[in-house]
Amino acid sequence: MNLNCKEYQHQITLLLYEELPEGAYPGLEAHLQECDDCRSAFESEKAMHSVFANDTTGWDVPSDLLVESRKALADQLDRIERKRPWWRVPTFSVVFTPMRLLESAALIAMGLALGVYVSNQQGRNIAELVPNSAPDNQVSLIPRNGAISNLQVVNADPATGQVELAGEVSQPLRFRGRMEDDVVRQLLFSALRDPNNPGSRLKAVEVLSQKPTDEPIEEALIGALVYDDDAGVRMRALEGLKKFANEKHVRAAFMYTLQNDQNAGIRIEAIEALTTHNPKDPDLAQKLTEATEKDDNPYIRTKVLQFVGTTK
Amino acid sequence: MEAILKRTAQRVHESEDEKLLIEQAQSGDREAFEQLVRRHDRDILRLAFHMLGNREEAREVFQETFLKAYRSLGRFRFESSFYTWIYRIATNVSLDHLRKRQTLKEEISYESDTETHPDRPALKDTLAATTYYSNPERRLYGKEVGQKIQDALKTLSEKERLVFELRHYQGLRLKMIGEIMGSTEETAKNYLFRATQKLRAYLTNV
């Protein structure tokens, strides 16, 4: 084989990966007609692609691995955020500089305009904001009906009189809309992430469970089922997902629950849903057997044995 | 033509949307960061799973990749796409893991050679027992062709394996693979060529 053939064989590889520059194809085609070695290499490389194309032995990442990995990452991020010093926690920040004052005033004006627009256009109630943007009065940054918490002094320079404060502002919010509205969804998803309020997470799951018809809602419910610390929230999320227990991701989440949830009631519900919605599935039977062989709950083990019996 | 324009407009929209998310994440918005993660996490996990060959290490690479991204996102300057950037982190982390595994293999091999631990299983077997290619889940599928392919892939060097993985399974263009590797398209082409040569030779009789 001469160097030229080696170059052509490079081109064969590129051709089969659709990376060969257009202009190079005629030359390669002509060479293949006259060179037995390269034609044989071409056939052999095509055969190799066919072998790979026929490999159906499961190159897919197991769904439960994705669920586990996401959960582990979320836990790690939570730990990092808990360790982060308070002055680095993202909150509002007020610095007494002219540029910041202008930026703040502009932001308030934009917020007000948006609030008024939404309120007028759709008849929705947005909490009232104070329309006072007097630049020398920083308290005007705070909504009249808002509350401040965790206020901290980030920096105080006696020489310049400049002070930087950080804290959190919260204010009442009321919003009406349909489940399809992005704002409604974002509010519900946000409620699901509120670590301090299991009641609001439960309500959010209940509302989302009413219409778990698309992927973001399904993912949010799976997230609640797998991540939430509150058993009531997890149970409600599971109930919302039950009818989709034959879908790949939901099934993986239920398997994860079955193997990891400390609450036997939730594990029982998971197994009920899996066996009801995947009748006589031998693959599931095997996975359930493996997943529950060490489960200390006799009902769960019996349920699996019964299911395995139906598949034989 | 209309379809092309529509797709281009969609890509522009997606890229603007991603830029906004990155900026929000850079200013400490955890939710924005999580949205970025969700856009790419399946691909990153698949890359890690294929490269490392077992669940535990794949999960570690996944976590290490996104934690590195989280910590260094503030230094991301939009000089490459976020996609390229996150893949670069993931490939470096994967290669680090493979190298660590190689070091471990050499250390244990040395000890085994001294015959001071006759009861210790050979490293070759230990590693094989933990790899994706030969773990029990995979054995269940147990098809001959699949096994042959797995054996063939093991003959590749780290970089050949990486380029083959990114091109063949992840479908990335060679130009992007070059960028991800901090190298050139030409280098990526050479690795791909060497990989396909080896695979072809191994799989001739399948």
Residue ranges of domains in chain A, CATH in brackets: 3-47 (no CATH), 87-170 (no CATH), 182-310 (1.25.10.10)
- Rounded Cα–Cα distance for residues B116 and B106 (Å): 16
Helix (H) or strand (E) holding A151: strand A147-157
pTM, to two decimals: 0.49
Give the pLDDT band (50/70/90) at residue A302.
confident
Chain B residue numbers with beta carbons less than 8 Å from the beta carbon of A41 are: 200
pLDDT at A139 over 50: no
Digit-coded pLDDT (tens) for A170-223: 777 777 888 778 788 888 888 887 777 788 888 889 888 887 667 788 888 888
- Rounded Cα–Cα distance for residues A15 and A22 (Å): 10
Which portions of chain B are predicted below pLDDT 50?
1, 109-142
Collapsing DSSP states into helix, strand and coil, what is residue A58?
coil
A24: DSSP letter: G
- With tokens 């993985």, the residue in question is B165
Q: What contacts B12, CB < 8 A, 6 or more positions away? A: none
- Rounded Cα–Cα distance for residues B85 and A251 (Å): 33
- With tokens 């509350």, the residue in question is A147
pLDDT at residue B104, rounded to an integer: 66
Pairing of β A162-170 and β A147-157: antiparallel
Listed by start position, the domains of chain B span 1-121, 143-206
What's the burial of A118, exposed, middle or buried (CB within 10 Å: 0-12/13-18/19+)? Answer: middle
pLDDT at residue B196, rounded to an integer: 94
Give the pLDDT band (50/70/90) at residue A299.
confident
Q: What contacts B158, CB < 8 A, 6 or more positions away? A: B95, B98, B99
Q: For B50, which residue in chain A has the nearest alpha carbon?
A: A59
What's the burial of B91, exposed, middle or buried (CB within 10 Å: 0-12/13-18/19+)? Answer: buried
What's the burial of A212, exposed, middle or buried (CB within 10 Å: 0-12/13-18/19+)? Answer: buried
Give the pLDDT band (50/70/90) at residue A59.
low
Instruction: Decide if B52 contacts B132 (C-beta within 8 A).
Output: yes
Digit-coded pLDDT (tens) for A218-273: 888 888 898 888 888 999 999 999 888 888 888 988 998 988 888 888 998 999 99
How many alpha carbons lie under 13 Å from residue B62 in its C-beta half-sphere? 32
The rounded Cα B74 to chain-centroid distance in angstroms is 24
Task: Kindly report each contact of residues A282-287 with a partner whose C-beta sits within 8 Å and lies 24 or more positions away, as own/partner.
Answer: A282/A311, A284/A251, A285/A311, A287/A255
Interface-testing mutation among B145, B196, B198, B205, with chain A (most A C-beta atoms within 10 A):
B196
The closest CB to that of A72, out of B63, B169, B204, belongs to B63
Mean confidence (pLDDT) of chain A: 77
Q: For A56, which residue in chain B has the nearest alpha carbon?
A: B146
pLDDT at residue A63, rounded to an integer: 72
pLDDT at residue A15, rounded to an integer: 92
Q: For the residues of B146-168, what is the DSSP string, one character each? A: HHHHHHHHHTS-HHHHHHHIIII
CB contact under 8 A, A72 and B199: no
Q: What does the longest C-alpha to C-alpha distance in chain A come to?
A: 87
Chain A residue numbers with beta carbons less than 8 Å from the beta carbon of B27 are: 90
pLDDT at residue A108, rounded to an integer: 64
- Taking the Cβ of residue A53 and every Cβ of chain B, the question of whether any pair is shorter than 8 Å is answered with no
Same fold, B1-121 and B143-206: no
Establish, for the pair of chains A and B, how many residue pairs have beta carbons separated by less than 8 Å.
106
The architecture CATH gives domain B1-121:
Orthogonal Bundle (1.10)
pLDDT at residue B169, rounded to an integer: 85
pLDDT at residue B9, rounded to an integer: 60
pLDDT at residue B18, rounded to an integer: 87
- Rounded Cα–Cα distance for residues A273 and A264 (Å): 14
Mean pLDDT, range A84-113, rounded to an integer: 53
pLDDT at A145 over 70: no
The rounded Cα B166 to chain-centroid distance in angstroms is 7
Chain B residue numbers with beta carbons less than 8 Å from the beta carbon of A90 are: 27-30
pLDDT at residue B138, rounded to an integer: 41
CB contact under 8 A, B63 and A73: yes
Q: What contacts A275, CB < 8 A, 6 or more positions away? A: A284, A288, A303, A307
Mean pLDDT, range A289-307, rounded to an integer: 86
Q: For B33, which residue in chain A has the nearest alpha carbon?
A: A77
CB contact under 8 A, A55 and B30: no
Instruction: Decide if A152 contacts A86 (C-beta within 8 A).
Output: yes
Q: For A10, which residue in chain B has the nearest alpha carbon?
A: B193
In this predicted complex, what is the ipTM?
0.72
Instruction: Decide if A277 contacts A242 (C-beta within 8 A).
Output: yes
pLDDT at residue B149, rounded to an integer: 85
CA distance to A140, A149, A199, A200, per residue, from A145 (Å) = 12, 13, 23, 21
CB contact under 8 A, A44 and B204: yes
CB contact under 8 A, B174 and A17: yes
Instruction: Decide if A235 contacts A200 (C-beta within 8 A).
Output: no
CATH T-level fold of B143-206: Arc Repressor Mutant, subunit A (1.10.10)
The rounded Cα A43 to chain-centroid distance in angstroms is 44
Q: b vs e for B142-154, b when ≥16 Cβ sit within 10 Å of the residue's Cβ?
A: eeeebbbbbebbe
Min mean pLDDT across A73-77, A98-102, B163-167 is at: A98-102
Give the pLDDT band (50/70/90) at residue A12.
very high
Closest CA to B162 of B100, A6, B172: B172
- Taking the Cβ of residue A90 and every Cβ of chain B, the question of whether any pair is shorter than 8 Å is answered with yes
Give the pLDDT band (50/70/90) at residue A301.
confident
Chain A residue numbers with beta carbons less than 8 Å from the beta carbon of B149 are: 51-52, 55, 57
